[in-house]
Homo-oligomer: A and B are copies of this chain.
Amino acid sequence: MPVISINENGFLEKLKKTKGLFSCVISSIETTKYVPISGVNKSVIDYTPAADMELVTLGKSLSLNHPPIDATGCPSPATITRAAVDLLDLPVLTVDAGSYVKPKIPYVSIDEKPTGDIRYGLAMDNSKELFRSGKILSKNTIYESLIVGESVPGGTTTALGVLLGLGYDAKDKISSGSVENPKELKLSVVESGIKNSKSNDVFDILNAVGDKMMPVVAGMAISAVLKNKPVLLAGGTQMASVLAVINEINPKILKSGLIGISTTEFVLNDKNADLKNIIEQIGDVPLFASKFGYENSKIDGLKAYCKGSVKEGVGAGGISTYSYLNGLNPKDIRYYVEENYEIWYSNFIK
Protein backbone atom coordinates (compact mmCIF):
# COMPACT_ATOMS: atom_id res chain seq x y z
CA MET A 1 0.00 0.00 0.00
CA PRO A 2 1.43 3.37 -0.99
CA VAL A 3 0.13 4.81 2.28
CA ILE A 4 2.09 5.69 5.41
CA SER A 5 0.10 4.34 8.36
CA ILE A 6 0.50 5.51 11.94
CA ASN A 7 -1.58 3.88 14.66
CA GLU A 8 -3.59 1.97 12.04
CA ASN A 9 -5.54 -0.22 14.47
CA GLY A 10 -7.56 -2.15 11.85
CA PHE A 11 -9.20 0.98 10.47
CA LEU A 12 -8.30 0.39 6.81
CA GLU A 13 -9.99 -3.00 6.80
CA LYS A 14 -13.25 -1.27 7.78
CA LEU A 15 -12.91 1.20 4.91
CA LYS A 16 -12.07 -1.44 2.31
CA LYS A 17 -14.79 -2.51 -0.13
CA THR A 18 -17.27 -0.01 1.28
CA LYS A 19 -19.40 2.11 -1.03
CA GLY A 20 -17.74 5.40 -0.19
CA LEU A 21 -19.21 8.87 -0.53
CA PHE A 22 -16.77 11.68 -1.11
CA SER A 23 -18.01 14.90 0.40
CA CYS A 24 -16.28 18.25 0.44
CA VAL A 25 -17.27 21.22 2.59
CA ILE A 26 -16.34 24.64 1.22
CA SER A 27 -16.14 28.12 2.74
CA SER A 28 -14.48 31.48 2.19
CA ILE A 29 -12.92 33.55 4.97
CA GLU A 30 -13.34 37.32 4.97
CA THR A 31 -9.90 37.86 6.52
CA THR A 32 -8.23 36.67 3.29
CA LYS A 33 -9.45 39.89 1.65
CA TYR A 34 -7.24 41.96 3.94
CA VAL A 35 -4.35 39.74 5.04
CA PRO A 36 -2.26 37.38 2.82
CA ILE A 37 -2.82 34.25 4.92
CA SER A 38 -3.66 31.98 1.97
CA GLY A 39 -1.30 30.51 -0.61
CA VAL A 40 -4.05 30.79 -3.21
CA ASN A 41 -3.70 33.25 -6.09
CA LYS A 42 -5.29 36.49 -4.84
CA SER A 43 -7.28 37.20 -8.01
CA VAL A 44 -9.07 33.87 -7.94
CA ILE A 45 -9.33 33.20 -4.21
CA ASP A 46 -13.10 33.82 -4.09
CA TYR A 47 -13.67 31.38 -6.97
CA THR A 48 -11.36 28.60 -5.79
CA PRO A 49 -13.76 26.44 -3.73
CA ALA A 50 -16.46 26.54 -6.44
CA ALA A 51 -14.01 25.84 -9.26
CA ASP A 52 -12.43 23.01 -7.24
CA MET A 53 -15.74 21.22 -6.76
CA GLU A 54 -16.86 21.76 -10.35
CA LEU A 55 -13.64 20.07 -11.44
CA VAL A 56 -14.10 17.16 -9.03
CA THR A 57 -17.75 16.64 -10.04
CA LEU A 58 -17.76 17.39 -13.78
CA GLY A 59 -14.12 17.13 -14.88
CA LYS A 60 -13.95 20.86 -15.65
CA SER A 61 -14.18 24.13 -13.81
CA LEU A 62 -17.03 26.46 -14.77
CA SER A 63 -16.57 29.39 -12.37
CA LEU A 64 -13.01 29.92 -13.64
CA ASN A 65 -11.80 29.30 -17.19
CA HIS A 66 -9.36 26.70 -15.86
CA PRO A 67 -9.07 24.76 -12.59
CA PRO A 68 -7.46 26.68 -9.72
CA ILE A 69 -3.67 27.02 -9.90
CA ASP A 70 -1.49 28.74 -7.32
CA ALA A 71 0.75 31.79 -7.74
CA THR A 72 3.73 29.55 -8.59
CA GLY A 73 1.92 27.52 -11.27
CA CYS A 74 0.97 24.48 -9.20
CA PRO A 75 -2.41 22.96 -10.01
CA SER A 76 -5.10 22.61 -7.36
CA PRO A 77 -5.13 19.35 -5.37
CA ALA A 78 -8.67 19.00 -6.76
CA THR A 79 -6.91 17.48 -9.79
CA ILE A 80 -5.90 14.51 -7.61
CA THR A 81 -9.39 14.21 -6.13
CA ARG A 82 -10.96 14.33 -9.60
CA ALA A 83 -8.68 11.49 -10.71
CA ALA A 84 -9.71 9.28 -7.79
CA VAL A 85 -13.48 9.87 -7.98
CA ASP A 86 -13.59 9.57 -11.77
CA LEU A 87 -11.48 6.41 -11.94
CA LEU A 88 -13.57 4.73 -9.22
CA ASP A 89 -16.89 6.34 -10.27
CA LEU A 90 -17.50 7.65 -6.76
CA PRO A 91 -20.40 9.94 -5.85
CA VAL A 92 -19.49 13.49 -4.84
CA LEU A 93 -21.42 15.69 -2.41
CA THR A 94 -20.51 19.38 -2.31
CA VAL A 95 -21.54 21.24 0.84
CA ASP A 96 -21.50 25.03 0.98
CA ALA A 97 -20.67 26.52 4.35
CA GLY A 98 -20.25 30.02 2.94
CA SER A 99 -18.18 30.15 -0.22
CA TYR A 100 -18.21 33.68 -1.74
CA VAL A 101 -18.88 32.16 -5.17
CA LYS A 102 -21.45 29.35 -5.33
CA PRO A 103 -20.54 26.28 -7.44
CA LYS A 104 -22.38 25.85 -10.75
CA ILE A 105 -23.33 22.29 -9.78
CA PRO A 106 -25.95 21.02 -7.34
CA TYR A 107 -24.64 21.60 -3.82
CA VAL A 108 -26.02 21.36 -0.31
CA SER A 109 -26.58 24.80 1.14
CA ILE A 110 -25.86 24.96 4.87
CA ASP A 111 -24.80 28.58 5.21
CA GLU A 112 -24.80 31.14 2.43
CA LYS A 113 -22.65 33.71 4.22
CA PRO A 114 -18.84 33.33 4.34
CA THR A 115 -16.79 32.97 7.49
CA GLY A 116 -16.14 36.47 8.90
CA ASP A 117 -12.99 38.23 10.04
CA ILE A 118 -11.05 36.11 12.51
CA ARG A 119 -8.77 39.02 13.47
CA TYR A 120 -11.62 40.40 15.53
CA GLY A 121 -12.92 37.03 16.76
CA LEU A 122 -15.88 37.38 14.39
CA ALA A 123 -15.60 34.13 12.40
CA MET A 124 -19.30 33.29 12.88
CA ASP A 125 -22.11 33.44 15.42
CA ASN A 126 -23.76 30.11 14.59
CA SER A 127 -21.19 27.34 15.04
CA LYS A 128 -23.59 25.25 17.16
CA GLU A 129 -26.30 25.51 14.52
CA LEU A 130 -23.79 24.61 11.77
CA PHE A 131 -22.76 21.57 13.79
CA ARG A 132 -26.41 20.48 14.02
CA SER A 133 -26.87 21.01 10.29
CA GLY A 134 -23.86 18.81 9.57
CA LYS A 135 -25.38 16.09 11.75
CA ILE A 136 -28.78 16.34 10.04
CA LEU A 137 -27.19 16.21 6.60
CA SER A 138 -25.09 13.15 7.37
CA LYS A 139 -28.00 11.36 9.06
CA ASN A 140 -30.05 11.88 5.89
CA THR A 141 -27.37 10.74 3.46
CA ILE A 142 -26.80 7.13 2.42
CA TYR A 143 -23.21 5.79 2.37
CA GLU A 144 -21.24 2.84 3.64
CA SER A 145 -18.25 5.06 4.38
CA LEU A 146 -17.73 8.81 4.38
CA ILE A 147 -14.59 10.53 3.13
CA VAL A 148 -14.86 14.23 3.89
CA GLY A 149 -12.51 16.96 2.70
CA GLU A 150 -12.50 20.75 2.51
CA SER A 151 -11.72 23.66 0.24
CA VAL A 152 -11.27 26.73 2.43
CA PRO A 153 -8.62 29.24 1.27
CA GLY A 154 -6.86 30.53 4.38
CA GLY A 155 -8.04 27.52 6.34
CA THR A 156 -4.69 26.59 7.91
CA THR A 157 -4.86 29.87 9.82
CA THR A 158 -8.30 29.11 11.27
CA ALA A 159 -6.97 25.63 12.08
CA LEU A 160 -4.11 27.22 14.02
CA GLY A 161 -6.59 29.48 15.80
CA VAL A 162 -8.88 26.68 16.89
CA LEU A 163 -6.05 24.41 18.03
CA LEU A 164 -4.42 27.21 20.05
CA GLY A 165 -7.81 28.31 21.39
CA LEU A 166 -8.48 24.78 22.62
CA GLY A 167 -5.11 24.71 24.37
CA TYR A 168 -3.02 22.56 22.04
CA ASP A 169 0.68 23.13 21.48
CA ALA A 170 0.36 23.94 17.77
CA LYS A 171 2.33 27.14 17.39
CA ASP A 172 5.13 25.84 15.17
CA LYS A 173 3.38 22.71 13.92
CA ILE A 174 0.89 23.98 11.36
CA SER A 175 1.37 23.33 7.65
CA SER A 176 0.72 25.82 4.87
CA GLY A 177 -0.54 25.68 1.29
CA SER A 178 2.57 27.48 0.11
CA VAL A 179 6.35 26.98 0.35
CA GLU A 180 6.64 30.21 2.32
CA ASN A 181 4.65 29.57 5.50
CA PRO A 182 3.89 33.04 6.95
CA LYS A 183 3.85 31.72 10.52
CA GLU A 184 4.30 35.03 12.36
CA LEU A 185 1.53 36.68 10.36
CA LYS A 186 -0.89 33.79 10.98
CA LEU A 187 -0.07 33.77 14.66
CA SER A 188 -0.68 37.49 15.11
CA VAL A 189 -4.03 37.17 13.28
CA VAL A 190 -5.33 34.34 15.45
CA GLU A 191 -3.93 35.64 18.75
CA SER A 192 -5.89 38.86 18.38
CA GLY A 193 -8.99 36.81 17.46
CA ILE A 194 -8.70 34.40 20.40
CA LYS A 195 -8.62 37.38 22.82
CA ASN A 196 -12.12 38.20 21.60
CA SER A 197 -13.52 34.72 22.24
CA LYS A 198 -16.31 34.72 24.84
CA SER A 199 -14.85 31.64 26.54
CA ASN A 200 -12.70 28.64 25.77
CA ASP A 201 -15.79 26.50 25.08
CA VAL A 202 -15.43 24.82 21.70
CA PHE A 203 -18.35 26.66 20.08
CA ASP A 204 -17.11 30.00 21.36
CA ILE A 205 -13.63 29.30 20.00
CA LEU A 206 -15.16 28.31 16.63
CA ASN A 207 -17.28 31.46 16.64
CA ALA A 208 -14.14 33.53 17.25
CA VAL A 209 -11.37 32.07 15.10
CA GLY A 210 -12.72 28.95 13.33
CA ASP A 211 -14.16 28.65 9.87
CA LYS A 212 -17.64 27.39 8.99
CA MET A 213 -16.33 24.18 7.43
CA MET A 214 -15.22 22.93 10.86
CA PRO A 215 -18.51 22.56 12.78
CA VAL A 216 -20.22 21.19 9.65
CA VAL A 217 -17.59 18.47 9.16
CA ALA A 218 -17.60 17.72 12.89
CA GLY A 219 -21.36 17.18 12.75
CA MET A 220 -21.15 15.02 9.63
CA ALA A 221 -18.40 12.86 11.14
CA ILE A 222 -20.14 12.35 14.49
CA SER A 223 -23.36 11.39 12.74
CA ALA A 224 -21.46 8.86 10.60
CA VAL A 225 -19.96 7.18 13.66
CA LEU A 226 -23.38 7.13 15.38
CA LYS A 227 -24.66 5.26 12.28
CA ASN A 228 -21.74 2.84 12.74
CA LYS A 229 -20.11 3.89 9.44
CA PRO A 230 -16.36 4.56 9.10
CA VAL A 231 -15.42 8.16 8.40
CA LEU A 232 -12.11 9.44 7.06
CA LEU A 233 -11.28 13.09 7.69
CA ALA A 234 -9.48 13.92 4.46
CA GLY A 235 -6.97 16.63 5.14
CA GLY A 236 -3.97 17.66 7.23
CA THR A 237 -3.85 20.54 9.69
CA GLN A 238 -7.41 21.62 8.96
CA MET A 239 -8.87 18.19 9.65
CA ALA A 240 -6.70 17.96 12.79
CA SER A 241 -8.58 21.01 14.06
CA VAL A 242 -11.89 19.30 13.21
CA LEU A 243 -10.72 16.25 15.15
CA ALA A 244 -9.99 18.51 18.11
CA VAL A 245 -13.49 19.99 17.81
CA ILE A 246 -15.05 16.51 17.73
CA ASN A 247 -13.01 15.55 20.81
CA GLU A 248 -14.43 18.52 22.72
CA ILE A 249 -18.02 17.72 21.72
CA ASN A 250 -17.95 13.95 22.16
CA PRO A 251 -14.63 12.30 23.10
CA LYS A 252 -16.16 8.82 22.73
CA ILE A 253 -16.23 9.30 18.95
CA LEU A 254 -12.43 9.25 18.82
CA LYS A 255 -12.38 5.93 20.69
CA SER A 256 -14.99 4.31 18.41
CA GLY A 257 -12.41 2.86 16.00
CA LEU A 258 -14.53 4.32 13.21
CA ILE A 259 -12.71 7.62 12.66
CA GLY A 260 -9.37 8.24 11.01
CA ILE A 261 -7.52 11.11 9.39
CA SER A 262 -5.63 10.95 6.12
CA THR A 263 -3.49 13.50 4.35
CA THR A 264 -0.73 13.55 1.74
CA GLU A 265 2.91 12.60 2.17
CA PHE A 266 3.68 16.29 1.43
CA VAL A 267 1.95 17.41 4.62
CA LEU A 268 3.19 14.56 6.80
CA ASN A 269 6.79 15.17 5.69
CA ASP A 270 6.56 18.97 5.97
CA LYS A 271 9.65 20.04 7.97
CA ASN A 272 7.96 23.29 8.94
CA ALA A 273 5.08 21.46 10.62
CA ASP A 274 4.31 18.46 12.81
CA LEU A 275 0.90 16.95 12.09
CA LYS A 276 1.80 13.67 13.78
CA ASN A 277 2.45 15.41 17.07
CA ILE A 278 -0.78 17.42 16.88
CA ILE A 279 -2.84 14.26 16.31
CA GLU A 280 -1.08 12.54 19.22
CA GLN A 281 -2.01 15.44 21.47
CA ILE A 282 -5.68 15.11 20.47
CA GLY A 283 -6.17 11.38 20.81
CA ASP A 284 -5.52 7.82 19.83
CA VAL A 285 -6.65 8.08 16.21
CA PRO A 286 -5.24 6.43 13.06
CA LEU A 287 -3.27 8.81 10.82
CA PHE A 288 -2.50 8.08 7.17
CA ALA A 289 -0.58 9.80 4.40
CA SER A 290 -0.96 8.89 0.72
CA LYS A 291 2.02 8.74 -1.61
CA PHE A 292 1.85 10.02 -5.17
CA GLY A 293 5.24 9.49 -6.85
CA TYR A 294 5.10 13.09 -8.06
CA GLU A 295 8.90 13.26 -7.96
CA ASN A 296 8.72 11.22 -11.18
CA SER A 297 6.31 13.58 -12.92
CA LYS A 298 7.15 15.23 -16.23
CA ILE A 299 5.13 18.29 -15.21
CA ASP A 300 6.90 20.94 -13.13
CA GLY A 301 3.69 21.97 -11.36
CA LEU A 302 3.29 18.45 -9.98
CA LYS A 303 6.98 18.02 -9.08
CA ALA A 304 6.66 21.25 -7.10
CA TYR A 305 4.29 19.47 -4.66
CA CYS A 306 7.37 17.60 -3.44
CA LYS A 307 9.12 20.90 -2.71
CA GLY A 308 6.25 22.16 -0.56
CA SER A 309 3.80 23.82 -2.94
CA VAL A 310 0.08 23.26 -2.33
CA LYS A 311 0.61 19.94 -0.48
CA GLU A 312 -3.03 19.09 0.22
CA GLY A 313 -6.66 20.18 -0.09
CA VAL A 314 -10.07 19.15 -1.46
CA GLY A 315 -9.62 15.83 0.35
CA ALA A 316 -6.78 14.78 -1.98
CA GLY A 317 -4.82 12.76 0.58
CA GLY A 318 -7.81 10.99 2.08
CA ILE A 319 -9.61 10.11 -1.12
CA SER A 320 -6.32 8.70 -2.43
CA THR A 321 -5.97 6.47 0.64
CA TYR A 322 -9.52 5.23 0.00
CA SER A 323 -8.76 4.72 -3.68
CA TYR A 324 -5.52 2.78 -3.00
CA LEU A 325 -7.54 0.50 -0.72
CA ASN A 326 -10.05 -0.04 -3.49
CA GLY A 327 -7.99 -0.82 -6.56
CA LEU A 328 -6.00 2.24 -7.65
CA ASN A 329 -2.30 2.96 -7.32
CA PRO A 330 -0.34 6.24 -7.41
CA LYS A 331 0.50 5.83 -11.10
CA ASP A 332 -3.22 5.71 -11.99
CA ILE A 333 -3.71 9.08 -10.33
CA ARG A 334 -0.52 10.65 -11.65
CA TYR A 335 -1.13 9.51 -15.24
CA TYR A 336 -4.75 10.75 -15.08
CA VAL A 337 -3.64 14.19 -13.88
CA GLU A 338 -0.79 14.34 -16.41
CA GLU A 339 -3.06 13.30 -19.29
CA ASN A 340 -5.69 15.90 -18.43
CA TYR A 341 -3.27 18.66 -17.46
CA GLU A 342 -3.01 20.19 -20.92
CA ILE A 343 -6.78 20.15 -21.48
CA TRP A 344 -7.49 21.61 -18.05
CA TYR A 345 -4.88 24.34 -18.35
CA SER A 346 -4.99 25.03 -22.10
CA ASN A 347 -6.39 28.51 -21.25
CA PHE A 348 -3.59 29.07 -18.74
CA ILE A 349 -0.46 27.74 -20.43
CA LYS A 350 0.91 30.39 -22.76
Contact = CB atoms under 8 A, between A and B. Distances in A.
Interface of A: 19, 21, 57-58, 91-93, 95-96, 102, 105-110, 133-134, 136-137, 139-143
Nearest to A95: B106
A105 B139 contact: no
A202 to B, nearest CB: 21
A134 B106 CA distance: 8
A133 B21 CA distance: 19
A105 B138 CA distance: 12
A102 B111 CA distance: 11
A279 B58 CA distance: 35
A186 to B, nearest CB: 31
Given A108-B106, A133-B106, A143 B142 contact: yes
Given A57-B136, A136-B58, A142-B21, A102 B109 contact: yes
Contacts of A143: 142
Contacts of A140: 57, 91-93, 106
- Say how many copies of this protein the assembly contains: 2
A342 to B, nearest CB: 25
A97 to B, nearest CB: 10
Contacts of A105: 133, 136
Contacts of A134: 106
A105 B91 CA distance: 22
A110 B104 CA distance: 9
Nearest to A92: B140
A109 B106 contact: yes
A228 to B, nearest CB: 13
Given A91-B140, A106-B140, A142-B142, 17 more contacts: A21-B142, A57-B136, A57-B140, A58-B136, A93-B140, A95-B106, A96-B109, A102-B109, A105-B133, A106-B108, A106-B109, A106-B133, A106-B136, A106-B137, A107-B108, A107-B109, A141-B142
A53 to B, nearest CB: 11
12 contacts: A91-B141, A91-B142, A92-B140, A93-B141, A102-B109, A105-B133, A105-B136, A106-B108, A106-B134, A106-B140, A108-B109, A109-B109
Contacts of A58: 136
A110 B21 CA distance: 20
A21 B143 CA distance: 11
A217 to B, nearest CB: 13
Nearest to A90: B140
A142 B19 contact: yes
A338 B107 CA distance: 36
